[in-house]
A and B are shown apart, each in its own frame.
Chain A
Amino acid sequence: MATRLHPLASAVTVDLSQGRIELKTPSLARAVAVPATWLARAIAALGENGVALAKSLAESVSRDAVLILDGTADPTPEEVAYAIALALGQRGLGTCSFERFGDALTLLWSLPPASDVTFHRFATTLVAQVVSDITGVPTHAAVLSTDPEAITLFLGSEHACALVRERVGRREPGPHILATLLGGVSA
Chain B
Amino acid sequence: MSTDVIARLESLLNRVLTRRALPRVAAPVAAPILATSPAPKAIAAEAPKPAAQPVEARQPEATPVVVAAPSSPPLQMVEPAPVIHRAATPMVETPRAADVLRETAVAPQRAIDPTPVALTPKASLPLPTPVKVVRADDRVAASFAAASALSPGFGEDDADQLDTLAFGVGRVLPRSSQVPAPPLPVSTRDDSSERRTERVERYAPSLPMSPVVAQVIDPASKLATPSLRALLQRSVALRPRG
Residues of chain A touching chain B, judged by Cβ–Cβ distance below 8 Å, are 74-80, 98, 100, 103-105, 131, 134-139, 154-157, 159-160, 163, 180-183
Contact = CB atoms under 8 A, between A and B. Distances in A.
Nearest to A106: B235
B89 to A, nearest CB: 89
A77 B226 CA distance: 8
Contacts of A76: 225-228
Which of B226, B240, B241 is most buried by chain A, counting CB atoms within 10 A of its CB? B240
Interface string B168-183: 0000000000000000
A181 B240 contact: yes
A134 B239 CA distance: 23
B220 interface: no
A77 B240 contact: no
B228 A103 contact: no
A157 B228 CA distance: 16
A144 to B, nearest CB: 12
12 contacts: A77-B231, A78-B225, A103-B238, A131-B232, A135-B229, A155-B232, A157-B237, A157-B238, A163-B240, A181-B240, A182-B238, A183-B241
A62 B226 CA distance: 21
Contact of A135 (B226, B232, B237, B239): B232
B232 to A, nearest CB: 5
B233 interface: yes
A130 to B, nearest CB: 12
A67 B227 CA distance: 18
Given A180-B241, A183-B241, A139 B236 contact: yes
Interface of B: 225-229, 231-241
B189 to A, nearest CB: 49
Question: At the interface, is chain A mostly helix, strand, loop or mixed?
Answer: mixed
Contact of B235 (A74, A79, A134, A155): A155
B240 A137 contact: no
A80 B237 CA distance: 20
Contacts of B229: 74, 135-137
Given A74-B227, A76-B225, A76-B227, A105 B240 contact: no
A105 B227 contact: no
B228 A160 contact: no
Nearest to B222: A76
A80 B235 contact: no
B227 A137 contact: no
Contacts of B239: 157, 159-160
Which of B226, B238, B241 is most buried by chain A, counting CB atoms within 10 A of its CB? B238
Contacts of B232: 105, 131, 135, 137, 139, 155
Contacts of B241: 180-181, 183
A137 B226 CA distance: 15
Closest A-B pairs by Cβ, 4 of them: A105-B235, A74-B227, A103-B234, A77-B228
Nearest to A155: B235
A74 B229 CA distance: 7
A183 B234 CA distance: 15
A20 to B, nearest CB: 34
Nearest to A177: B240
A159 B235 contact: no
A160 B240 contact: yes
Contacts of A160: 236, 238-240
A156 B236 contact: yes
